[in-house]
Amino acid sequence: MTLLRSISLIGAPTDIGAGARGASMGPEAMRVAGIGEALRARGCEVQDRGNLAGPSNPWQPPVDGYRHLAEVVAWNQAVHEAVYTELRDGRLPILLGGDHCLGLGSISAVARHCREAGKKLRILWLDAHADFNTSELTPSGNIHGMPVACLCGFGPKELVEIGGQVPAINPKWIRQIGIRSVDEGEKRFVHEQDLEVFDMRYIDEMGMRHAMELALATLDANTHLHVSFDVDFLDPDIAPGVGTTIPGGPTYREAQLCMEMIADTGRMASLDVMELNPALDVRNKTALLAVDLIESLFGKSTLMRK
């Protein structure tokens, strides 16, 4: 299946919400790994919008439970406007992170677009972590552990209001896949808010195929599917280039199946590729793997599909 699509690459070179420096180099590593060429080879029309600008990382300790809040707000506003503009112009934005705090700017833009276009929204959150912390629950104050909570309306006013409607999304619209590290207080909050999580135990017991069948169930022709791909979703054996490696993630084959099943729906309309950290990578292999998986997301398969 060849998908003819108009794609815009948006670089967000910052590690403002992370606990380790280096994700700011992620966008360029993805370009060096050939993301543009790979998508063009899939039949897509690709525009690289270059990198967004924002404040530098002051590397300060948290204040009132948040690290770098003002800078995180500035970066997310820039991401929100860029992603929203591409969607409004009928294009498929791929946000090249950057740390995962920027999922807030990206997904709030997708939610705003869906409200205006009368579309249903489904979000797949591929990650080792639930990213559902709040300032009371977080052990670190790093805002890359909070974007899902902020999207659901739990967080500082400046962040939760970025999309123009609070909350930006309903927790029922999210499916989390690959989760294997959730902080103690965060665990209770995930439970209380009833997030639908396919954690690694679920994938071990039931398999990636079954998890994805459920995560992708009830999509219809009017559904906008957003994929927020935190590269730490992958097992660190195959993807060492991230700031927060957690053992026991999806293997290469499980990750491929996950991406191919998403592609089969034909509904993906926006994508984040987050937390790639070239400072921790080995000869850019994690970026090359991310490009390989993104090709599958855009319909690359071993055989012609019936």
Interacting residues toward Mn ion by CB under 5 A? 100, 127, 131, 230
Shorter beta-carbon distance to Mn ion: residue 149 or 203: 149
CB nearer to Mn ion: pick between 86 and 127: 127
Q: Is 144 designated active site? A: yes
Catalytic residue among 68, 80, 113, 144: 144
Nearest approach, Cβ of residue 233 and Mn ion (Å): 8
Cα distances from 188 to residues 50, 185, 191, 192, 250, in angstroms, run: 40, 6, 5, 6, 24
Q: How far is the CB of 60 from Mn ion (least distance, A)?
A: 21
* Closest separation in Å from C-beta 244 to Mn ion: 8
Report yes or no: 75 and 105 within 8 Å, Cβ to Cβ.
yes
Residue 230 annotated among the catalytic residues of the structure? yes
Which residue of the set 199, 235, 275, 281 is catalytic? 275
Of 83 and 146, nearer to Mn ion (C-beta) is 146
Q: How far, in Å, CA of 86 to CA of 8, rounded?
A: 7
Q: Cα 182 vs. chain centroid, distance in angstroms?
A: 17
Which member of 129, 186, 224, 295 is catalytic? 129
Catalytic residue among 15, 86, 131, 183: 131
Residue placing its CB nearer to Mn ion in the complex, 131 or 281: 131
**Whole-number minimum distance, CB 134 to Mn ion, in Å?**
15
With CA atoms as reference, report the closest residue to 167 among 99, 112, 219, 223.
112
15 is catalytic: no
The residue type found at 259 is M
Dihedral sign (CA 52, 54, 59, 64): negative
- Is the peptide bond preceding residue 299 cis, with omega within 30 degrees of 0? no
Question: Known catalytic residue: 183?
Answer: no
Q: Are 188 and 233 in contact (CB under 8 A)?
A: no
Nearer to Mn ion, 46 or 95 (CB): 95
Q: How far is CA 103 from the centre of its chain?
A: 6
Q: State the Cα–Cα distance between residues 266 and 248, nearest whole angstrom.
A: 29
Question: Does the annotation mark 113 as catalytic?
Answer: no
- Provide, rounded to whole angstroms, the least separation between the CB of residue 75 and Mn ion: 15
Catalytic positions, please? 100, 127, 129, 131, 144, 230, 232, 275
